[in-house]
Structure 1
Amino acid sequence: MKEMTAKEVETLMNEGKLLNIIDVREVDEVADGKIPGAINIPLGLVEFRMHELDKSKEYIMVCRSGGRSGRATEFLEDQGYNVINMQGGMLSWEGKEE
């Protein structure tokens, strides 16, 4: 499983890179703040909504601490998607939130 740190994700954003971020936390968790531009697909719905994702794009998976996004990353990897888990999740995120 490919991983990157929250700091690496923040650096790429600050450099103006277009990132596809999927936040797999529950809706009420995301309401407290998320990475700008992140799409919320709760972990339990990933299997049912993966058709919304493009296999030619790279996605960065995010959750609260990195566990749920790790499971989502492994699942989507097995389905042929190009995914990266953000280590430490939102607990490690120091960048802007919306």
Structure 2
Amino acid sequence: METIKIKEVCPTSTLELIKRNYLLLDVREENEFNQFSFDVPRVLNIPMSQLTERMNEIPKDEKVILACLTGERSLRAVQFLNEYGFTNLLNMKKGLSKWAQKEYPIKGESIVQEKLCCGEHSNCK
């Protein structure tokens, strides 16, 4: 069995590739995706747990970047999909957590970004 070298991109490169019409595939579970997600034009959510049943939704003729919260699940998903003949896949290193840290567009409430303490809490310093 041959080993396939998985191509990885950072969030900054991902942002550029999305502008070139790459599809972003988020493999996080639906509840994670609904809490907060990438705010980009073409994002598809197929949870890792549903990948086998739903892989037909992933276009084989398009370039697709896989992402999750940290880049670990998406890396496993790329390896899995490669076995089924998907060749135009990239893995986004460090995932949505790094994306949000860089303040790239997100929808929803990020659990990653630090909450600033201020306002009515008089005990904040």
Same fold by TM-score greater than 0.5: yes
Structure of larger gyration radius: 2
Q: Which amino acid aligns with 1:71?
A: R
Q: Which residue number corresponds to residue 23 of structure 2?
A: 20
Partner of 1:31: helix, strand, or coil?
Answer: helix
Partner of 1:39: helix, strand, or coil?
Answer: strand
Q: Which amino acid aligns with 2:53?
A: F
**Counterpart among 20, 30, 33 of residue 30 in structure 1:** 33
The TM-score normalised by the length of structure 1 is 0.90
Partner of 1:70: helix, strand, or coil?
Answer: helix
Identity %: 31
Higher RCO (CA 8 Å, separation ≥ 6 residues): 1
Gaps of 5+ in 1: none
Q: Which residue number corresponds to residue 91 of structure 1?
A: 97
What's the CA shift string for 1:40-85, capped at 9, x where partnerless?
1000111111111221111100001011000100011111112110
What CA distance in whole angstroms lies between the structure 2 residues aligned with 1:97 and 1:19? 17
Measured on the aligned residues, the alpha-carbon RMSD in Å equals: 1.2
1:12: how far off? 3.0
1:32: how far off? 2.3
What CA distance in whole angstroms lies between the structure 2 residues aligned with 1:11 and 1:86? 12
What's the CA shift string for 1:13-55, capped at 9, x where partnerless?
3xx3112111000111112221123111000111111111221
More helix by share: 1
Gaps of 5+ in 2: 1-5, 108-125
The TM-score normalised by the length of structure 2 is 0.71
Query: How many residues are matched?
Result: 96
What CA distance in whole angstroms lies between the structure 2 residues aligned with 1:31 and 1:54? 23
Runs of 4+ in 1 over 6 A off after TM superposition: none
CA contact (8 A) 2:26 2:43 kept: yes
What CA distance in whole angstroms lies between the structure 1 residues aligned with 2:23 and 2:90? 10
